[in-house]
Structure 1
Amino acid sequence: MHNINRISYQKLGIALALLILAMLVVVPLFFIFMTSVYSGQELDMMAPLRVIMENELSQVFWNSIWLGICVVVGTTLLALPLAWIFARTDWARHTWLDVVFMIPFMTPPYIGSMGWILFMQKNGYIEQLIPSSSIVTPVFFSMFGMVAIMSLHLFPFLYLILRNALVQIGGSKEEAASVHGGSFLYSFRRVVMPLLLSSYAMGALLVFVKTIAEFGTPATFGRKIGYYVLTSEIHKYISSWPIDFGKATSMASILLTACLMIWYVQTLVSQRYTYSLISGKGSRGRLYRLQVWQRLLVWVFVAGLLLFSVGVPYFSIIAASLLKLRGVGLAWNNLTLQYYVDLLTWGSKSMQALMNSLSLSLVAATISVLLGTYFALMISRSKTWPQRITDLFSLLPNTVPGIVIVVGLILLWNSPWMPIPLYNTYGMVVLTYVVFFLPYTVQYVKSNFAQLDESLFQAGRVFGGSATYIFRKILLPLIIPGMLAGWMMTFTISVRELVASLMILPPSMETSATYIFSQFEQGKVSLGMAMAVISVGLTTLMLLGINKLSAKSKL
């Protein structure tokens, strides 16, 4: 009887999750899909494909796919060694570096791209510092440079997923391989990699869809090197005259189809390579003792990654924010702090924009964590088709460009029949942020939950624990790391969100991202860069505080 009631409650929970996700995600995307296949007179299901072929946009489509694949490879080369270092060596005690490695992801993509452009362009900062570098800098403005910029921006996301998975794996299985004569490479290839594959597939999928849905870097660096992708073309058809929303949504539909196919492959991998790693027996981590040359190699890798992901772009950003005159270049007598004084004046337009960003992001991140955790628990291990559909719906916001899903939300929430007057309000901005970034929390919590052995919950029920007790004493403590990672990720992305803010914000409201964008539009690059430094700095301090509180709670 108890099991019947539990199954009934679970079915009710999944039904409620599907209903919420349908209103938040599916219905807006349905509006987009109908716009792409219905011209007003007839329904043409092949219209999106015909738009791609007739307008010679197939090359742009393959540019997007190839860019996504290359960035997944790039982020893997950066994130996998880093995750192993911070999960399997004594570097694990340097938890504060987790927040430092989040700085690239907290930086708006168009800001990071502009930082690299200012640094590497002809007569840029590196040529001013090292004149002989003019031989190397032209090589950077190519596909290689674009992949490098986006990989350095996105690797923290994959790093957090892989590091958490490595911690969950523990060290006993590797020790068993060593006892039976297996070398480090053998145990890594035959033990760690199969156990890590499910989490990696999940993270790689989100990196891929984040790359092909990115607008900031293609709009800045991509345009400069002549590498066009679907997001830049969609933006062109929506923002430039003559506006052709039909073509824009047709391209979005093709992009969505490609991402759904990749999502299906990811689910197959996850089902095949998901294992229960945490059980009532407990596990302990294994920390490898590094030799001197290995420690030196780790230092070089970590320092180099910090240099290129944080040092170079932020040197350019800070330098640009301090220059009185850009034409004069780097010179001590050309530096000023006046832009920061103007921005931090209480009651100023810039300070109000900064406070708006922080408050919106705090509310959106908290709601996303609560909803995302609920959805992840309902999805469980995706054994039934309702759970798989819930998983798919939760991932959909990351499979289309932000500018397109925003239009879908506007069409839905501004409809005459909508009883809730949410459009053009503070709540609409929060709702849009939640829809945009819900997949991150779902995937982080789901990754943690998938590795919990069912015996933990069976033990709780055998000893008379109620469902509430099991959730509070067993489940919640084990998924809190995933919840915190999801909250941090959602908060940092919300602070820098540009596309949704530009289209959803009420007329009298600005955020730090829209403020920066407007300063660039007006040619005030130094003022925009100063705001970028302040907003990222405040976000970093908040995350360091959360990281410290989290570390204390584990003691």
Structure 2
Amino acid sequence: MRANVVLIGAAVAALAVLVAMPLGFVALQAIFPQLAQGSLAAPLSHLAGTLGDPRLVELTLNTLKLGAGVVLAAAAIGIPLGTLRGLFALPAARLWDVLMLVPFMIPPYISALGWIMLLQPRGYLQQLLGIHAGPALFSFGGVVFVMTLNVVPVVYFAVSRTMAASGSRLALVGRVCGGGAWRCFLRITLPLALPGIAASLLLVFAMAIEEYGTPAALAANAGFFVLVTGIERRFSEWPIDLPGASVLSLILVALAMLAFAWQRRIVRGHGYETTTGKPMRGEALALGAWRWPVVALFALVAGIATFAPLFAIAATAFSRTLSGGLALGNMSLVHLQAIAASGSDALRALLTSLALGLGAAAVTGVVGVLVAYCVVKTRTRGRVVLDALAVLPNTMPGVVVGVGLILAWNQGFWPATPYNTWGILLLAYCCLLLPYPVRYSQAALMQIGDSLEAAARVHGAGMQTALIRILLPLLLPSLAAAMLLVFAVASRELVASLLLAPTGVQTVSLFIWRQFEQGSIGQGMAMSLVTVAVTTTVMLGATIWLERRQAGSAV
């Protein structure tokens, strides 16, 4: 019992610092319009004007439409591919994992710009094939298309790792008992994976409704605006409307909480677990005659999601001038040479981003396991509140989290503060990205019965020993996938970095952004290319090391 109290206390303290403080100050700003001036006067005096804005209903409906569209498209792509990866012996499986992760590591604003340069009139596709898709790209459908390719790895990795953990052995038992292949999949394998699928789709919805760069770049000219673009306008246009932006942010939170409640409703009553107390991975199934069609499907998705935007990024990075197009005489290393010439600035930005990404992955991994364990494996009152608080950051735009951290930590009563240090960036990344390890760990814990932990306790092991020696190794595949996603996002996060980076601290995203501001699009794309290459190498090495470690442990 005492160990339970310690774990719960640690989880509550971590959530209070990482989540409750910044989001609480955003809520206070929404209530007290003069909070930034240090006054609590005239509470809610601005509410009528904000809620009475006739554009608010349109912004809200557009946000729901965009979130639903991205969720449906990501599910249509990620669930089948994740199932094939998790259950079957897929040729070159590691390669497909890397290729599926690369789109997630490309910053959304860079990806959108890459698609613009590829599909716009006189873009790279028209230069190669004589056709373009400008009208389709600059529309609601184009936003859904680009955003889906960016977030589909969330669904793919959640489904593949969950399917791999539950394995095919139980489904094979069902086949022996007379069940058909599809019946066993729908009645055995799919229910075991349902928590992971629901968790990943909730994250996709939250990411879709809080993304700013892609809707602003692709659909603004078509008149399609969402809540997050409305929030950005209130921050950027004079007079700055912090209270109004905070109110719109709380509406975003409400939308995400509705999705959260819907997810719990879907999962409630479907908490399947293996009777042995742990997942049982069987041998990967042979694809047989479907081997090459499945490989062709993965190649098609990888070609569209990975190679198409990378081609546009690389073509821009290696082009001397944009107006010169894809002509051989226009190819040059001038932009990479310019980055190398900047020397310490570019290298420092890269090392800073890698260090912050690794730090955010480590912190959120530890906190995520603690929160998931308290929610799934204890009967503590307030578990639903902990769960909701852990998913809240994914419902808030990075700009709002940044403002919340400024309001929270830029107060005179603190004896010490991380404000204006690299620590404030780490807090921002951990706040924004905590839902990944929480959701992935919860999905894995829901598949692990209580018998193994109970057996360890009967034989004298304490809760800490049972957690570290039994549950954590079983959680490792899902947790490692979540931490890799945290690393990928943190190493290229932009909005919070723009607001919070102290003087003298520059991340990769800031370096790229400033190159674009200066009109050096080629140098920005060159730095993007270098960053993707470095982060992919780091993540590939981490994945290989984890797989070898697991294989060694199994032996």
TM superposition score normalised by structure 1: 0.93
Q: How do 1:276-355 and structure 2 match up within 5 A?
A: 276-277=273-274, 279=276, 283-292=280-289, 294-345=290-341, 347-355=343-351
> Which stretch shifts more, 56-65 or 462-471?
462-471
The reply to whether residue 216 of structure 1 matches residue 213 of structure 2 is yes
Picking from 12, 15, 18, the partner of 2:9 is 15
User: Is the Cα–Cα contact under 8 Å of residues 15 and 389 in structure 2 kept in the other structure?
Assistant: yes
> Are the structure 2 counterparts of residues 405 and 94 from structure 1 closer, same or farther at C-alpha, using a change threshold of 3 Å?
same
In structure 2, how many angstroms separate the alpha carbons of the residues matched to 1:34 and 1:281? 44
Deviation, 1:234, is: 0.7
Q: Which residue number corresponds to residue 73 of structure 2? A: 74
The reply to whether residue 390 of structure 1 matches residue 379 of structure 2 is no
Q: Which residue number corresponds to residue 38 of structure 2? A: none
The reply to whether residue 448 of structure 1 matches residue 444 of structure 2 is yes
> Are the structure 2 counterparts of residues 342 and 279 from structure 1 closer, same or farther at C-alpha, using a change threshold of 3 Å?
farther
Deviation, 1:26, is: 1.4
User: Is the Cα–Cα contact under 8 Å of residues 115 and 316 in structure 1 kept in the other structure?
Assistant: yes
Deviating above 6 A after TM superposition, structure 1's stretches of 4 or more consecutive aligned residues are: none
The reply to whether residue 206 of structure 1 matches residue 180 of structure 2 is no
In structure 2, how many angstroms separate the alpha carbons of the residues matched to 1:79 and 1:211? 15
> Are the structure 2 counterparts of residues 397 and 382 from structure 1 closer, same or farther at C-alpha, using a change threshold of 3 Å?
farther
* Deviations 1:358-388, CA, capped at 9 Å, x for gaps: 1222222222222222222222247543222
Q: How do 1:234-253 and structure 2 match up within 5 A?
A: 234-253=231-250
* Deviations 1:59-79, CA, capped at 9 Å, x for gaps: 111111110011001111111
* Deviations 1:20-57, CA, capped at 9 Å, x for gaps: 31232112212211222334543339x65862442422
Deviation, 1:286, is: 4.8
SS in 1 for 2:276: coil
Deviation, 1:465, is: 2.8
> Which stretch shifts more, 96-105 or 519-528?
96-105
* Deviations 1:94-135, CA, capped at 9 Å, x for gaps: 22432221100011000000110100000110000001x24x
Q: Structure 1 unaligned runs (5+)?
A: 1-6
* Deviations 1:242-300, CA, capped at 9 Å, x for gaps: 211121111111111111122122223233222223735872325333242x2232122
Deviation, 1:92, is: 7.0
Deviation, 1:345, is: 4.2
User: Is the Cα–Cα contact under 8 Å of residues 14 and 390 in structure 1 kept in the other structure?
Assistant: no
In structure 2, how many angstroms separate the alpha carbons of the residues matched to 1:506 and 1:137? 39
SS in 2 for 1:91: coil
Q: Structure 2 unaligned runs (5+)?
A: 35-40
The one-letter code matched in structure 2 to 1:509 is: V
Q: Which residue number corresponds to residue 458 of structure 2? A: 462
User: Is the Cα–Cα contact under 8 Å of residues 321 and 530 in structure 1 kept in the other structure?
Assistant: yes
Q: Which residue number corresponds to residue 44 of structure 1? A: 44
Deviation, 1:197, is: 1.9
Q: How do 1:35-434 and structure 2 match up within 5 A?
A: 35-40=29-34, 41-44=41-44, 51-91=50-90, 94-131=93-130, 133-134=131-132, 136-277=133-274, 279=276, 283-292=280-289, 294-345=290-341, 347-381=343-377, 383-434=379-430
Picking from 9, 19, 25, the partner of 1:25 is 19
In structure 1, how many angstroms separate the alpha carbons of the residues matched to 2:449 and 2:225? 46
In structure 2, how many angstroms separate the alpha carbons of the residues matched to 1:383 and 1:51? 41
User: Is the Cα–Cα contact under 8 Å of residues 71 and 204 in structure 2 kept in the other structure?
Assistant: yes
> Are the structure 2 counterparts of residues 332 and 79 from structure 1 closer, same or farther at C-alpha, using a change threshold of 3 Å?
same
In structure 1, how many angstroms separate the alpha carbons of the residues matched to 2:414 and 2:203? 32
> Which stretch shifts more, 175-184 or 403-412?
175-184
SS in 2 for 1:288: coil
SS in 1 for 2:220: helix
> Are the structure 2 counterparts of residues 112 and 273 from structure 1 closer, same or farther at C-alpha, using a change threshold of 3 Å?
same
In structure 1, how many angstroms separate the alpha carbons of the residues matched to 2:435 and 2:528? 26
> Are the structure 2 counterparts of residues 441 and 32 from structure 1 closer, same or farther at C-alpha, using a change threshold of 3 Å?
same
The one-letter code matched in structure 2 to 1:408 is: G
The one-letter code matched in structure 2 to 1:95 is: R
* Deviations 1:170-228, CA, capped at 9 Å, x for gaps: 22332233234433322222333322222211111111011101112122122243321
In structure 1, how many angstroms separate the alpha carbons of the residues matched to 2:486 and 2:550? 23
In structure 2, how many angstroms separate the alpha carbons of the residues matched to 1:491 and 1:477? 20
SS in 2 for 1:166: helix
* Deviations 1:423-461, CA, capped at 9 Å, x for gaps: 001111111111111111111222212211111112212
In structure 1, how many angstroms separate the alpha carbons of the residues matched to 2:275 and 2:120? 50
Picking from 470, 473, 478, the partner of 1:474 is 470
In structure 2, how many angstroms separate the alpha carbons of the residues matched to 1:381 and 1:396? 21
> Are the structure 2 counterparts of residues 312 and 142 from structure 1 closer, same or farther at C-alpha, using a change threshold of 3 Å?
same
In structure 1, how many angstroms separate the alpha carbons of the residues matched to 2:10 and 2:469? 25
The one-letter code matched in structure 2 to 1:487 is: M
The one-letter code matched in structure 2 to 1:489 is: L
In structure 1, how many angstroms separate the alpha carbons of the residues matched to 2:115 and 2:378? 42
In structure 1, how many angstroms separate the alpha carbons of the residues matched to 2:374 and 2:73? 33
User: Is the Cα–Cα contact under 8 Å of residues 86 and 92 in structure 1 kept in the other structure?
Assistant: no
SS in 2 for 1:380: helix
> Are the structure 2 counterparts of residues 457 and 234 from structure 1 closer, same or farther at C-alpha, using a change threshold of 3 Å?
same
The one-letter code matched in structure 2 to 1:470 is: A
In structure 2, how many angstroms separate the alpha carbons of the residues matched to 1:98 and 1:461? 37
* Deviations 1:401-421, CA, capped at 9 Å, x for gaps: 111111011101111112222
The one-letter code matched in structure 1 to 2:303 is: L
User: Is the Cα–Cα contact under 8 Å of residues 278 and 451 in structure 1 kept in the other structure?
Assistant: no
In structure 2, how many angstroms separate the alpha carbons of the residues matched to 1:280 and 1:24? 33
Picking from 516, 534, 540, the partner of 2:536 is 540
SS in 2 for 1:530: helix
User: Is the Cα–Cα contact under 8 Å of residues 424 and 504 in structure 1 kept in the other structure?
Assistant: yes
The one-letter code matched in structure 2 to 1:344 is: A
In structure 2, how many angstroms separate the alpha carbons of the residues matched to 1:50 and 1:203? 36
User: Is the Cα–Cα contact under 8 Å of residues 22 and 393 in structure 1 kept in the other structure?
Assistant: no
In structure 1, how many angstroms separate the alpha carbons of the residues matched to 2:281 and 2:498? 48
In structure 1, how many angstroms separate the alpha carbons of the residues matched to 2:257 and 2:112? 28
Q: Which residue number corresponds to residue 3 of structure 1? A: none
Number of residues paired by the alignment?
545
Q: Which residue number corresponds to residue 37 of structure 2? A: none
How many percent identity over aligned positions? 32
> Which stretch shifts more, 270-279 or 522-531?
270-279
> Which stretch shifts more, 54-63 or 79-88?
54-63
In structure 2, how many angstroms separate the alpha carbons of the residues matched to 1:311 and 1:53? 46
